Amino acid sequence: MKRKVIIRRSKPRPAPRSAEMVWNWRTTLFSCVIFIILGVLGCGLVLWRQGWFQKQVELLTADGLEMTRKAGFAVEDILVEGRNQTDKDQIVSVLQVEKGSPILAFNPHDALKRLGDISWVKSGVVERRLPSTIFVRLYEREPIALWQNKNIVKLIDREGHELRDIGKDETPSLPLVVGEGANTHAADLIAQLLRYQSILTPLRAAVRVSNRRWDLHMNNGIVVKLPEEKVSVALERLNKAISEQQIMERSIIAVDLRLPDRMIIETNDPIEPPKNQKSSPKI
């Protein structure tokens, strides 16, 4: 009896890849990835330079703001408090906002910076009061004097900030300071003069001399020369002389208070020597 013999043959194993083939495959894949990355970056750089991304952001932002406007978040009222001198139309122009525009597009911080450029505005507060109101609170500068410099008269506050020009027909009842640097030193002088109405009332102008000290020009033509330092002491001496000696009613040209221990008075009338005094010999 014959037996069947089954012979099983093993499958041939694939030949192992050489190291060179593996290297070429990996290099090709890496090169493709780098090429794709460089291409994407190159296209992105071109689009960035052309402003494409910025335009898309602006479009998306504009669409979003338009949606909020339609939802009721639109400017309907502008409420301003503390306005006495500042022009209303100027405020609206500086805010750069229109009725019906999206209130969320309004930037209070930038608006406050622009308000600070108005001469009368010292500080302020700007708020968005949702859904439809913009609130502005102004703190205006207070004028304390007129400043004349190079034949131009301006209204100034205590910091010497120029508020506006004064017209020829205007006559504000404020002290007049004259000269370079007078605007920044006026507040201290006026604060001291307010204590002495006998000096402030007849004062025509305070003239800054070499930006170091003051000369007070009175309405009757008398010039009072103040020292650089200890002005309050000099004003106290002048006030006492006015009340006790009525020097402002006398025929004098100037009162010099620059020396701490004496008051020098220059008169209009020549001083005649006593009759019994012998005349000085001629040389």
| Better pLDDT: 244 or 273 | 244
Q: Which amino acid is at 206?
A: A
Q: What gap in Å lies between CA 266 and CA 254, rounded to an integer?
A: 5
Q: Which amino acid is at 74?
A: A
Q: What gap in Å lies between CA 250 and CA 64, rounded to an integer?
A: 80
* The pLDDT of residue 20: 57
What average pLDDT does the chain have?
Answer: 83
Is 80 exceeded by the pLDDT of residue 225?
A: yes
The SS3 assignment for 158 reads: coil
Measured from the Cβ of residue 57, the count of other Cβ atoms closer than 10 Å reads: 10
Q: What gap in Å lies between CA 260 and CA 271, rounded to an integer?
A: 25
The SS3 assignment for 6 reads: coil
* The pLDDT of residue 281: 36
Q: Which of 200, 196, 144 shows the shortest CA–CA distance to 172?
A: 144
Strand duo 203-209 + 77-81: pairing: unpaired
Q: Which of 128, 127, 136 shows the shortest CA–CA distance to 102?
A: 128
Q: Hey, what are 222's tokens?
A: 């008398």
- Ranges 38-47, 62-71, 180-189: which has the least confidence: 38-47
* The pLDDT of residue 280: 41
pTM: 0.69
* The pLDDT of residue 277: 45
Domains of the chain: 77-140 (3.10.20.310), 143-267 (3.40.50.11690)
